[in-house]
Structure 1
Amino acid sequence: MNRIHYGGDYNPEQWSPEVWTEDMKLMTEAGVSLVSVGIFSWATVEPAPGAYDFGWFDQVMDNLAQYGVGASLATMTASPPPWLSVKHPEILPERADGTRLWPGSRQHYCPSSPIYREYAGRLVEQLAQRYGDHPALKIWHIGNEYGCHTRQCFCDVSAEDFRRWLRDRYGDIDALNENWSTTFWSQRYSDWAEIFPPRAMPTFGNPAHKLDFARFSDDAILQCYLVERDIIRAHTPDVPVTTNFIGLVHKPIDSYKWAAEQDVVSLDSYPDPYDRRSHVEAAFGYDLIRSVKGGQPWLLMEQAPSAVNWRPRNAPKAPGVMRLWSWQAIAQGADAVLFFQWRQAVGGAEKFHSAMVPHGGADTRTHREVQALGRELAAASEIADSRVRAEAAILHDWDNWRAVEGDAHPGVVELLPAHRAHFDPLFDAHVTVDVVHPATDLSAYKLVVVPNLYLLSQVTAAALTRYVAAGGTLVVSFFTGIVDEQERAYLGGYPAPLREVLGLKIDEFWPLPVGGSIGVDGGSGTIWSEWIETEGAETVATFTEGELAGRPAITRHQYGDGVAWYLGTRPNPALMRTLLDRVRAEAGVEPVLPGLPDDVQAIVRHGAEADYLFLLNHSASDVTVTLPAPAVDLLGSDASVTSVSLTAHGVAVLRH
């Protein structure tokens, strides 16, 4: 990519050809260079089985090529046409309680359905043959927001597919019984036909059964993507493919696994303007999406120009916030900024979702901001393909996420709040963080943080141990190293695979009451406490009240050339910040820029010939930042400066 691409979802089927002409004019004026087109066009291009009508879409693609706008061409399969559900009702998905989900919205298909995949594949074949050589085509957009609505299907078609998946995984029924611990509650299976999806049950289901069904469901959805991706690649092997992950982190879809099947990864991001810390939540998601492809630039495929339509109260973005949040994504590695959508719909469920061209037309605040941002991005093309580097990492694992939030645990541990509890203090200290899979090579990181890695393989435990022994600094939080990959508890004292490197043993969990806290030296702890027996670790802080008073709460263990910290509770935010400031200072992890005002984010992208410092003011007040050395202001005077004045929600991009 030789520029930061700019645009949005384009749905011309909702409008007349006269409007298409105006669209091209306005896109040119706004600096639009890339649009996602055709996402929900299936029913229009194939109004009856096998009866294709591409004439109107040919004109759309020709218009884009004529005006120099690239097409992120969707495969149109995200929402099957009504005729397919009538002709083949067996493609419709079912919930765990047996409720069938009917047409009338979108994504109404069972991911395991061979019939859905067959019809989708036929359409994709037509698209690849027709548009593979079209000059507007820049990238393929496979499906759309996989797993957004149909995350798991419990129908009989899925049941049979699940059994096939289990046979491939375990080979024979005895191996499954061993891995699922089915001697408990008389659950032992004697035939594959006895196994069903974890449908509605009298009480707690088998954790291994539910975990495997989550893995299977992810794979079933991925298979839908792969069917289409493989058709596309057979016809256009040199055109990159992507699909858009939804939300900042989406539990049903393992982004690390999916990223391996894409040329470039894409994300839809919708921070809440009412949440004054929503930019921190966004930052976590952007660090993760950048990390799933090894630091490669990614695409912000969707964001809202102003308000969304699906929250109980939908706040507009204040003047400047759309620009600020767009630049935040770029600062954290995005090489494209796109919106949902180009023109605000007149009807349908998303008619009150904002757009680049609102109901009020081009003479609106939102569209004027859209045009201004387009001009700004066009002038900053040199940033494209530069990379973000981090000295600290947080481990995230989808299997652990699915397992740690399961039923019948000592206490409720929600993983994303746990991540935020560890990520936010590093963000506030202006430290750049990668969010990586446990299998990642960690040797380049000075600091690795492990929040609540309940499901821990022996392989990962050994890698973490080697990392510390070689000089790394590790921070591990409670309820880590409790079960293996099949939800079987480790024996001999927790966290069994990490006892040596942490220098301790956990005898008992003492989770705190809902909303409760416990005193800890220097502050308090929340969520959890534990009976910790040290085995070489030094006690850094103790519990100061209750039955655990005087016992270790936070420990530090010198191991080999490195250090391993353990948190037996979740320190309150102030104490967590103090603790992580100490840990990162000892590890040699420095902020991007010291002495920054609160709510000013700083991050650097490194290019082949220059580095780019981004300063983003997430506050509603003006601030001034003094630079450590002169730099060129790319968004201002394009002159060398030694300090930058940032207005409320202001942005500076500095070359040095």
Structure 2
Amino acid sequence: MRTPRVESATPVGALPVRVANREFNKLQVEIIREYSPGRFITHNFMSGFTDFDHYKLSKDLDFATWDNYPLGHTLVFLRMKGETKNPFDRVGHPDIISFSHDLYRGVGRGRFWVMEQQAGPVNWAPYNLWPAKGAVRLWTWQAFAHGAEVVSYFRWRQAPFAQEQMHSGLLAPDSAPYPGYHEVKQVFEELKNIDINEPVESEVALVFDYETAWVFSIQPHGEGVNYIDLVFRFYSALRRLGLNVDIVPPGSSLDGYKMIVVPSLAIVEGGGSGHVQKIRRSSRTWPKKRKKTETFQIPPEMPPGLLKEIIPVEVRQVESLGDNVETLVWNGKEYPVSIWREDVDPTITEVIARFKDGFGAIFRKENVFYLAFWPNGDFLVDFFEALSKESGIETKRMPEGVRIQRRGEYVFSFNFTSEEVDLEIPTKVQIVLGDQKIPPYGLLIWKENER
């Protein structure tokens, strides 16, 4: 007799499986270092892939690399969110690309390469357009602006056989140059006049936690509850304000940052208390969480656990909203809220925003803020803009599809749209590449001596 299955398996066994990858990688690294000493060792990671902790695995590597396929990655991400319109179908979403640059710069402890850069149409996405004219050049410069040491293209020549024969390269199967070849050659010439060896510096740190991603995927509690989507909302809002962002693991040094953003931290145990104290000393924080123990249980003390040391609230109950939409009222404006919200007891914490039905939404104690909901991008842009001003961080709202990034004395501006953009820039700057009127899929680089 078959017993009907009424629930999924217990989640406690799902976490250890994701931890084993580092040991296997470490064994391989030790063999290479013993029998082929003096060589760097790296690994190429992927966009949106969270099945293992990249921070821990990379401790055995010399630096990180990743594979940048903007068209396919953007399409897959948007379809995961249920979105059908893709205004960036031939160039990729600027923040989906730069998120991985910033993540793997953090994974590589400041050092990363692009091991595989898309050079033309690929063969594995739901559909495979060729990139817009100028896109390959745009992606290459964007990688350098975010700190890449090397950009390597996949591939040199399109293979006329086997599984990836429909995956293009810089050259066609007959060795004739594809359009991407000429754009790479253009960047090669442009780099001769621009020295960009300085590291990327940021005033904002965003804490990205693989363990939290696992908790979300094992027990999401509702449709749309996806850790990558949540983190991306916070990250993209910061980028829409023209801010450099460092993506860091839990427990890392937070010295020197004016703003710490924690989209969610599901498990704070063991060394977590020290990390809480680091957050306390920072200027601005947004810890949002769903609390579990290290054995994937709800702890006896209600959430947010150790985070109560810096934001004394207590989560009484949570709900995933499905198709329901609640209305947040903050700073005289209304914002729709979907996917997730919490019923929070503020204890001694100030409630600075509520939902229309009276539930608290945003809580503050001194320099720490707690969001009891899944925020949308427009709210986060307004929120971060107001609090950046309070924290002494300079922001600039960017036109749709336009982004800036600072590296050393250079400011890079990228136009990911199909229209010319006349960008407002400071008067006393030296333009080193491009023009203030940035063409479609083009870029502008200027040099700042003072800021």
Band the TM-score falls in, shorter-chain normalisation: 0.7 to 0.9
1:565 aligns with 2:369: yes
1:255-277: per-residue Cα shift (whole Å, max 9, x none)? 21122111121111111176426
Structure 2 CA distance for partners of 1:410 and 1:501, relative to 1, 3 Å = farther
Match of 2:195 among 379, 382, 389: 382
1:516 aligns with 2:308: no
Report the secondary structure of 2:276's partner residue: helix
Letter in 1 for 2:207: L
Equivalence map 1:149-160=2 (5 Å): none
Structure 2 CA distance for partners of 1:654 and 1:410, relative to 1, 3 Å = closer
Letter in 2 for 1:577: V
Shift of residue 220, structure 1, vs aligned partner: 4.8
Kept in 1: contact 2:244–2:405 (CA 8 A): yes
Provide the C-alpha distance between the structure 2 equivalents of 1:454 and 1:412, rounded to a whole number of angstroms. Answer: 17
Kept in 2: contact 1:543–1:550 (CA 8 A): yes
Provide the C-alpha distance between the structure 1 equivalents of 2:137 and 2:240, rounded to a whole number of angstroms. Answer: 21
Structure 2 CA distance for partners of 1:414 and 1:398, relative to 1, 3 Å = same
1:431-457: per-residue Cα shift (whole Å, max 9, x none)? 111111011011221111111222222
Letter in 2 for 1:401: A
1:619 aligns with 2:417: yes
Kept in 2: contact 1:309–1:352 (CA 8 A): yes
Provide the C-alpha distance between the structure 1 equivalents of 2:278 and 2:431, rounded to a whole number of angstroms. Answer: 43
Greater C-alpha Rg: 1
- For 1:233, the equivalent position in structure 2 comes to 33
Match of 1:428 among 240, 245, 255: 240
Structure 2 CA distance for partners of 1:411 and 1:367, relative to 1, 3 Å = closer
Provide the C-alpha distance between the structure 1 equivalents of 2:260 and 2:397, rounded to a whole number of angstroms. Answer: 24
1:268 aligns with 2:82: no
Match of 2:269 among 457, 482, 490: 457
1:649 aligns with 2:449: no
Provide the C-alpha distance between the structure 2 equivalents of 1:504 and 1:212, rounded to a whole number of angstroms. Answer: 30
Structure 2 CA distance for partners of 1:291 and 1:581, relative to 1, 3 Å = same
Shift of residue 568, structure 1, vs aligned partner: 1.1
1:209 aligns with 2:9: no
Shift of residue 303, structure 1, vs aligned partner: 1.6
Structure 1 length-normalised TM: 0.61
Kept in 2: contact 1:604–1:612 (CA 8 A): yes
Provide the C-alpha distance between the structure 2 equivalents of 1:208 and 1:595, rounded to a whole number of angstroms. Answer: 44
Match of 1:540 among 352, 355, 359: 352
1:561-589: per-residue Cα shift (whole Å, max 9, x none)? xx111111113322222122222222222
- For 1:182, the equivalent position in structure 2 comes to none
Kept in 2: contact 1:475–1:565 (CA 8 A): yes
Report the secondary structure of 1:405's partner residue: helix
Kept in 2: contact 1:204–1:407 (CA 8 A): no
1:222 aligns with 2:19: no
- For 1:397, the equivalent position in structure 2 comes to 209
Structure 2 CA distance for partners of 1:380 and 1:255, relative to 1, 3 Å = farther
1:529 aligns with 2:333: no
- For 2:393, the equivalent position in structure 1 comes to 589
Structure 2 CA distance for partners of 1:215 and 1:616, relative to 1, 3 Å = same
C-alpha RMSD of matched pairs (Å) = 2.3
1:337 aligns with 2:337: no
Structure 2 CA distance for partners of 1:203 and 1:214, relative to 1, 3 Å = farther
Match of 2:176 among 324, 342, 362: 362
Match of 2:284 among 466, 473, 494: 473
Match of 1:351 among 165, 169, 173: 165
From the two aligned structures, give the one with the greater helix fraction: 1
Structure 2 CA distance for partners of 1:343 and 1:367, relative to 1, 3 Å = same
Provide the C-alpha distance between the structure 2 equivalents of 1:417 and 1:348, rounded to a whole number of angstroms. Answer: 35
Kept in 1: contact 2:19–2:52 (CA 8 A): no
1:495 aligns with 2:304: yes
Letter in 1 for 2:160: V
1:144-187: per-residue Cα shift (whole Å, max 9, x none)? xxxxxxxxxxxxxxxxxxxxxxxxxxxxxxxxxxxxxxxxxxxx
Structure 2 CA distance for partners of 1:254 and 1:408, relative to 1, 3 Å = closer
Aligned length: 424
- For 1:288, the equivalent position in structure 2 comes to 103
Kept in 1: contact 2:22–2:57 (CA 8 A): no
Report the secondary structure of 1:241's partner residue: coil
1:601 aligns with 2:400: no
Equivalence map 1:242-281=2 (5 Å): 242-245=42-45, 247-272=46-71, 275=86, 276=88, 278-281=93-96
Match of 2:117 among 303, 306, 310: 303
Kept in 1: contact 2:132–2:441 (CA 8 A): no
Structure 2 CA distance for partners of 1:505 and 1:314, relative to 1, 3 Å = same
Shift of residue 405, structure 1, vs aligned partner: 1.5
Provide the C-alpha distance between the structure 1 equivalents of 2:242 and 2:166, rounded to a whole number of angstroms. Answer: 36
Provide the C-alpha distance between the structure 2 equivalents of 1:376 and 1:652, rounded to a whole number of angstroms. Answer: 12
Report the secondary structure of 1:571's partner residue: coil
Structure 2 CA distance for partners of 1:380 and 1:266, relative to 1, 3 Å = farther
Shift of residue 388, structure 1, vs aligned partner: 0.5
Letter in 2 for 1:603: Q
Report the secondary structure of 1:653's partner residue: strand
Kept in 2: contact 1:342–1:355 (CA 8 A): yes
Unmatched 5+ stretches in structure 2: 76-85
- For 1:9, the equivalent position in structure 2 comes to none
Report the secondary structure of 2:266's partner residue: coil
Structure number with greater CO (CA < 8 Å, separation at least 6) is: 2
Unmatched 5+ stretches in structure 1: 1-200, 637-642
1:237-257: per-residue Cα shift (whole Å, max 9, x none)? 333221211x22321232211
Provide the C-alpha distance between the structure 2 equivalents of 1:553 and 1:230, rounded to a whole number of angstroms. Answer: 50
Shift of residue 481, structure 1, vs aligned partner: 5.0
Report the secondary structure of 1:627's partner residue: coil
Provide the C-alpha distance between the structure 1 equivalents of 2:374 and 2:425, rounded to a whole number of angstroms. Answer: 35
1:541-578: per-residue Cα shift (whole Å, max 9, x none)? 1111xxxx1121111111xxxx1111111133222221
Letter in 1 for 2:358: G
Provide the C-alpha distance between the structure 1 equivalents of 2:399 and 2:341, rounded to a whole number of angstroms. Answer: 34
Structure 2 CA distance for partners of 1:359 and 1:619, relative to 1, 3 Å = same
Match of 1:438 among 245, 250, 265: 250
Equivalence map 1:47-62=2 (5 Å): none
Structure 2 CA distance for partners of 1:335 and 1:471, relative to 1, 3 Å = closer
Provide the C-alpha distance between the structure 2 equivalents of 1:631 and 1:453, rounded to a whole number of angstroms. Answer: 41
Kept in 1: contact 2:121–2:130 (CA 8 A): yes
Report the secondary structure of 1:520's partner residue: strand
Kept in 2: contact 1:622–1:648 (CA 8 A): yes
Shift of residue 351, structure 1, vs aligned partner: 0.7
Kept in 2: contact 1:362–1:368 (CA 8 A): no
Kept in 2: contact 1:458–1:497 (CA 8 A): no
Letter in 1 for 2:303: Y
Letter in 2 for 1:518: E
Letter in 2 for 1:509: V
Match of 2:133 among 316, 319, 335: 319
- For 1:16, the equivalent position in structure 2 comes to none
Letter in 2 for 1:602: I
- For 1:71, the equivalent position in structure 2 comes to none
Provide the C-alpha distance between the structure 2 equivalents of 1:249 and 1:617, rounded to a whole number of angstroms. Answer: 23
Structure 2 CA distance for partners of 1:409 and 1:586, relative to 1, 3 Å = same
Letter in 2 for 1:651: L
Structure 2 length-normalised TM: 0.87
Provide the C-alpha distance between the structure 1 equivalents of 2:421 and 2:130, rounded to a whole number of angstroms. Answer: 24
